[in-house]
Copies of this chain bind each other. A is one copy, B any other.
């Protein structure tokens, strides 16, 4: 059984992604969630805090898998990076709606709580990449030491740009909007494309 609170959260996520935070009214959210309009203030305090709650939920999820992967003892640095890319691709594909909101907020939001979430997340990723690159370079898994900021920009930038572009490509090639096979292939290509680039800038050679 899904609670009213979750109903609101998921309805808001969908509508914020579709129309943007500002253009989505609390009335629409309450209608979509099948709850009374005043329940939003009641449960979350305000529309703004509802957005924060949404970020809190989704961002917490992504912190866990990073730690999980980093803790695995029997993987070398490239295997860890490769696994991170796999999980990242999967998450972006699954939570497209949330990552649409995230990008928008990154561009315009001035909400302090959300800025903190975003910075923490970004710094977490940067630290992790730095460690993997340093370790990998030291033990000669990697031959190069790329600029971490640039490497991250390529990884995340390519991912998001490709994600945003998918509907346009489907429209362009007249692919059915609900065609999941196409999505699958697209995200697989994307995954390989990113890995290919990272291998190059890290100076990693397979089967060595």
Contacts and interface: CB of A to CB of B under 8 A. Distances in A.
Contact of A161 (B160, B165, B196, B197): B160
Contacts of A147: 189, 193
Size bracket, chain A contacts = 35 or more
Contacts of A157: 153-154, 156-162
B119 A108 contact: no
A164 interface: yes
Contact of A154 (B100, B119, B197): B197
Nearest to A102: B107
A19 B107 CA distance: 9
A91 interface: no
Nearest to A23: B22
Contacts of A160: 157, 161
Contacts of A119: 168
Interface in A20-45: 20-23
A161 to B, nearest CB: 3
Contacts of A21: 22
Contacts of A20: 20, 22, 104, 107-108
A76 B116 CA distance: 47
Contact of A104 (B104, B158, B172, B190): B104
Interface of A: 17-23, 100, 103-104, 106-108, 110, 119, 122-123, 146-147, 149-150, 152-154, 156-162, 164-165, 168-169, 172, 189-190, 193, 196-197, 200-201
